[in-house]
Amino acid sequence: MPDLATVKAALRAQHIETPSWAFGNSGTRFKVFAQEGVPRTAYEKAEDAATVHRFTGVAPSMAVHIPWDAVADYADLAAYADSLGIAIGAVNPNVFQDDDYRLGSLCNPEPAVRRKALDHMLECVDIMDATGSRDLSVWLADGLNYPGQDSIAARQDRLEAGLRTVYDRLGPTQRMLVEYKLFEPAFYATDLPDWGTSYAHCVDLGPKAQVLVDTGHHAPGTNIEFIVAFLLRRSKLGGFHFNSRFYADDDLMVGAADPYQLFRIMAEIVFAGTLGENSRVAFMLDQCHNIEPKIPALIRSVMNVQEATAKALLIDTEALGRAQRDGDVLSANAILADAFATDVRPLLAELREEMGLDPDPMAAYERSGHAAKIRAHRVGGTAAGWGA
């Protein structure tokens, strides 16, 4: 059986990144529901991310999305985040919310629009330099709604050229994470629809380009842990955007829909030995809290990732290896199922106490009165979000 001290050390070293946009108002294309106490600026989003970290102890960075989090001085934002005990994580360029991007960004048939998208991405690398961020997180909304609308092959050529220019601008320790998505907003064809397409571009680009797996971006029934295992084997798994989905890209709290899937994904991470201090895999959340309060939803999400990780770390890998070598299908499956069935909450409570935290982050946040404080303080101004 795995040694408990080793399990705890791995859990303590795990780093789960929160997304700035999850603290702002969000909704669906039908309605954005405004909440009270929502941040007005990137600085206030950093305060919320720091609050999630204060209660969980394992969320010491916040991803930013530009221009949603545009500020006059990015080094100052990073210094403010640092003063709160967190860092600026992945920088996400936004090349999908401008009228110019109606027909795409890097794949757009119009050279001037491609240039505009490229310039924005290069500006995002400048922001990485200013904030000390390691990862440029690239997601394109590019694609086609109708057969014949544009040349699928020519769009791949434009994509390749655009990504290459951005890649060549990266510093020696910076990375480009290339995200894919099966559909939405384009419905007929997406220019980066699946992990294979992202992977092929990343292989062409070089070692600083790696695939980003958003758990909500696959066809129903896709075996995501297979993708994870494959990419890890090739050192091409850059990170995750964790969330839950029932139907499409639902962006619900990770672990809410299918905790067993999350466990199976984390099991592949454990099998590959890619947890711990030097993990090159970025564990990021990409969620929207449309009807639930945002800070506790993110605390819960971080806890859900921790629980899945703890269960994966408890897999008896030696016994599993034996059962696999013996072709003992039932025992092998039972070893995995046993680990998943373990109640790891007492272990995590103990770990939190050792880390000087409250053993129950959700209850501690409720008791803290923080929600009332931000509701009273954040009055006036424009709440961050999608037009709420």
Give how many residues touch Mn ion by CB under 5 A.
Answer: 3
Residue 139 lies near ligand PSV (rule: CB under 6 A):
yes
CB of 276 to ligand PSV, least distance (A): 25
Residue 44 contact among Mn ion, ligand PSV, none, beta carbon within 5 to 8 Å by kind: none
Residue 214 lies near ligand PSV (rule: CB under 6 A):
yes
Residue 92 contact among ligand PSV, Mn ion, none, beta carbon within 5 to 8 Å by kind: ligand PSV
Q: Out of 54, 169, 175, 241, which residue is the one contacting ligand PSV (CB under 6 A)? A: 241
Residue 249 contact among ligand PSV, Mn ion, none, beta carbon within 5 to 8 Å by kind: ligand PSV
Neighbours of 163 (CB within 10 A): 23
Residue 290 contact among Mn ion, ligand PSV, none, beta carbon within 5 to 8 Å by kind: none
Residue 286 lies near Mn ion (rule: CB under 5 A):
yes
Residue 18 contact among Mn ion, ligand PSV, none, beta carbon within 5 to 8 Å by kind: none
Q: Out of 14, 20, 61, 92, which residue is the one contacting ligand PSV (CB under 6 A)? A: 92
Residue 54 lies near Mn ion (rule: CB under 5 A):
no
Residue 249 lies near ligand PSV (rule: CB under 6 A):
yes
Q: Which two tokens stand for residue 212?
A: 């980003």
Residue with smaller CB distance to Mn ion, 243 or 304: 243
Give how many residues touch ligand PSV by CB under 6 A.
Answer: 9
Residue 241 lies near Mn ion (rule: CB under 5 A):
yes
Residue with smaller CB distance to Mn ion, 252 or 374: 252
CB of 249 to ligand PSV, least distance (A): 5
Residue with smaller CB distance to ligand PSV, 176 or 270: 176
Residue 286 lies near ligand PSV (rule: CB under 6 A):
yes
**Which spans of this chain sit near ligand PSV (rule: CB under 6 A)?**
21, 92, 139, 179, 181, 214, 241, 249, 286
Which residues are near Mn ion by CB under 5 A? 214, 241, 286
